[in-house]
Chain A
Amino acid sequence: MDQFTINLLFVGASFALYIGIAIWARAGSTSEFYAAGRGVHPVTNGMATAADWMSAASFISMAGLIAFTGYDNSSFLMGWTGGYVLLALLLAPYLRKFGKFTVSEFIGDRFYSPTARLVAVICLIVASVTYVIGQMTGVGVAFGRFLEISNTSGLLIGACVVFAYAVFGGMKGVTYTQVAQYCVLIMAYTIPAIFISLQLTGNPIPALGLFGEHQASGEPLLVKLDQIVRELGFNEYTAHHADTLNMTLFTLSLMIGTAGLPHVIMRFFTVPKVSDARWSAGWTLVFIALLYLTAPAVGAMARLNITELMWPNGTDGEAVSIQQIADDPAYDWMATWQKTGLLGWEDKNGDGMIQYYNDGNAEMQAKAEANGWQGNELTNFNRDILVLANPEIANLPGWVIGLVAAGGLAAALSTAAGLLLAISSAVSHDLIKGQLRPDISEKGELLSARIAMAGAILVATYLGLNPPGFAAQTVALAFGLAAASIFPALMMGIFSKKVNNSGAVAGMLAGLIVTLLYIFLHKGWFFIPGTNSFTDADPLLGTIKSTSFGAIGAAINFTVAYIVTSMTKPIPDEIKELVESVRVPRGAGAAQDGH
């Protein structure tokens, strides 16, 4: 059986499973569509939230970004897990106690203002749409590889599947489907990692293998990796090269953004009790940590494997020959990925070999001249292909490759579906039912929810064709936006009895607009390529990249909110009582549909 058939079997079987579950638990009423009743156990909820949360960015993209940068990209690991501490301590239990369906409902009620609710909805939509663009990038990579077609065709086909999938069921269908998706996803991520860790270090646990001994050389794995990349003129893997201020702000943005993302927060509305909301955040992180503790090992080991494949005779010997790439089955993955347009090589000096090195490094340029090399010949290695290509690079059995294809699609699909739900509920529930037409029928509400989904996916697909970065980088921008707009409003709403309606509205608007401006200035207006005035290599403010700006946006949000509050009318007594009641778990009961 060839690899394509095996992939087809694995992907087909996993899809049949999800669709079966979705039919079995199809959403009937609006409340089921959004929040699945409240009978979801914290462990189940944690698993579903983990699947919802771990998207193309975590599964497909992150390890690749770590692999090619090393320690400096640890921000992704700390940022995307550390946010759950904020969520568990600062938001989840209180929002569950408040007991409504959506984040913007809380903001609207706490800041006693339909305007605040409207602004929250806008912030939510901006962050979620940006997030979906990142997902679509990942969907394109996954479908392109799986169907062995170009990235663009993969993206278009993937978009249709995501849409059909999200429209099919509401949250309830999605909750149980996502439990299944989590299982597929985590197996797909860890099984190849275990194989590779065993191959390289003899340790079956990748997180330990990362700090273990490289069996072929007898040296610690990370020492070997540092040495081999240094010899090719790249930055040492474990060393700190990034700007410390930018790295700190980036990590903080990802953390705050995690706690401000509507589709994650929404999950904590679906647990039965306030205490369950606290446990649920913990369980979610357990399931996420299984992937996140493995990811750095995947990155480091893949980098070592790729480098050794390109230099089969050691970095002092001859590079891999074009003949060997064509004939040796160990290099079959290169031809497969070349078809997607995401991997490319070119024999610039015509010596029949492909020299992979850092041609930006002065020392290497001297060495290249002496050896007659004319630049790095592994010309294109898209970071987003690393995880999906990893089992092929390590020469693992066909069924592992099929499993990874199914896992990558599960990751991208589950998050895209969760986000589309968040967007559609924001538009239909908060915007149309909450503001424009309170008398809309349930049927009309469901219809508008689906139209909103279609709109969001069209925009995301269009922008996903020319994404502002690799999947995880685009997603990081979405986190920056959520960090700058939603998180401060929620936190002030719970922890302050002073911040009033005008303060919250001004704060959210200031945070959102300034952050959005900073991102557009660096990534192009509305992410349209070529319309940017600055680049992240040479940012507007010192060393602060657009992906790191969320933390500053959040600080602006807090500051503006406090200043405006101090200049306007204090909040009414009944709102103070609302805040007091949110702070105490007693009498939480079931959530109500407020409008």
Chain B
Amino acid sequence: MTDQTNTVSTEESDRSYWKANVRLIRISLVIWALVSFGFGILLRPMLSGIPVGGTDLGFWFAQQGSILVFLALIFFYAWRMNTIDKEYGVEE
């Protein structure tokens, strides 16, 4: 598994790997909350001026847009994390 002689530097690199991961998670979750709770619910009145097919952008985000963004987010995270895994040499 780990290289026994290099435990200290492995530990350090694992720590910064985790930090990079948590940063990515944080950014992703901000977007996650913005499109659902934000555009879909709380900020809907602010988006009411933007018409989308007989209703407004907030309605579209609540019933379609948020789901599409969720999808993009998960694939983005998986792709980005797999790159980060390789950068830090922690992939399987």
Q: Which residues of A contact B (CB under 8 A)?
A: 71, 74, 77-78, 81-82, 84-86, 88-90, 93, 207, 210-212, 219-224, 226, 238, 240, 244, 247-248, 251-252, 255, 273-275, 278-279, 281-282, 285-286, 289, 292-293, 296, 495, 580, 583-588
A-B contact pairs, 5 of them (CB 8 A): A71-B62, A222-B55, A238-B59, A292-B67, A585-B92
Chain B residues whose C-beta falls within 8 Å of the C-beta of A286 in the assembled complex: 71
Partner pick for B67 among A77, A248, A495, CB 8 A cutoff: A77
Contact B14 A222, beta carbon cutoff 8 Å: no
What's the A-B contact tally at a CB cutoff of 8 Å?
Answer: 144
Partner pick for B41 among A84, A88, A247, A583, CB 8 A cutoff: A247
Interfacial residues of chain B within 1-60, with CB under 8 A of chain A in the complex: 1-2, 11, 14, 17-18, 21-22, 25, 28-29, 32, 36-37, 40-42, 44, 52-56, 59-60
Partner pick for B70 among A84, A238, A274, A584, CB 8 A cutoff: A84
Chain A residues whose C-beta falls within 8 Å of the C-beta of B22 in the assembled complex: 495
Q: Mark B49-90, 1 if CB is under 8 A from A, else 0.
A: 000111110011011101110110111011001100100011
Provide the bound-state CA to CA distance between A583 and B32, in Å.
22
Chain A residues whose C-beta falls within 8 Å of the C-beta of B64 in the assembled complex: 207, 210, 293, 296
Contact B54 A223, beta carbon cutoff 8 Å: yes
Chain B residues whose C-beta falls within 8 Å of the C-beta of A219 in the assembled complex: 54
Contact B62 A77, beta carbon cutoff 8 Å: yes
Provide the bound-state CA to CA distance between A252 and B82, in Å.
28
Contact B71 A74, beta carbon cutoff 8 Å: no
Partner pick for A273 among B1, B63, B92, CB 8 A cutoff: B92
> Secondary structure of the A side of the interface?
helix
Contact A85 B78, beta carbon cutoff 8 Å: no
Measured between C-beta atoms, what is the minimum distance from B26 to chain A in Å? 10
Q: Which of B32, B68, B92 has the most CB of A within 10 A?
A: B92
Partner pick for B54 among A82, A221, A274, A281, CB 8 A cutoff: A221
Partner pick for A81 among B28, B53, B59, B70, CB 8 A cutoff: B70
Partner pick for A71 among B32, B37, B59, B90, CB 8 A cutoff: B59
Chain B residues whose C-beta falls within 8 Å of the C-beta of A71 in the assembled complex: 59, 62-63
Measured between C-beta atoms, what is the minimum distance from A175 to chain B in Å? 21
Interface size on B, residues (CB 8 A): 45
Given A220-B54, A296-B63, residue A85 in contact with residue B32 (CB < 8 A): yes
Given A78-B40, A89-B29, A207-B64, residue A587 in contact with residue B55 (CB < 8 A): no
Partner pick for A77 among B32, B44, B52, B63, CB 8 A cutoff: B63
- Interface pairs A-B: 7 shortest CB-CB: A211-B53, A220-B54, A222-B54, A74-B62, A278-B78, A282-B74, A296-B63
Chain B residues whose C-beta falls within 8 Å of the C-beta of A210 in the assembled complex: 53, 63-64
Provide the bound-state CA to CA distance between A222 and B70, in Å.
25
Given A251-B36, A289-B67, A293-B67, residue A211 in contact with residue B74 (CB < 8 A): no
Chain B residues whose C-beta falls within 8 Å of the C-beta of A587 in the assembled complex: 1-2, 92
* Closest chain A residue to B85, Cβ basis: A585
Chain A residues whose C-beta falls within 8 Å of the C-beta of B54 in the assembled complex: 211, 219-224, 226, 238
Chain B residues whose C-beta falls within 8 Å of the C-beta of A255 in the assembled complex: 36
Besides A89-B28, A211-B55, A293-B68, 11 more A-B contacts (Cβ < 8 Å) are A85-B32, A90-B25, A211-B60, A221-B53, A222-B54, A251-B40, A274-B92, A278-B77, A285-B70, A495-B22, A583-B21
Provide the bound-state CA to CA distance between A222 and B60, in Å.
11
Partner pick for B77 among A88, A207, A240, A251, CB 8 A cutoff: A88
Contact A586 B1, beta carbon cutoff 8 Å: yes
Provide the bound-state CA to CA distance between A82 and B29, in Å.
10
Given A275-B82, A279-B78, residue A584 in contact with residue B36 (CB < 8 A): no
Chain B residues whose C-beta falls within 8 Å of the C-beta of A495 in the assembled complex: 22
Chain B residues whose C-beta falls within 8 Å of the C-beta of A90 in the assembled complex: 25
Given A238-B55, A584-B14, residue A289 in contact with residue B60 (CB < 8 A): no
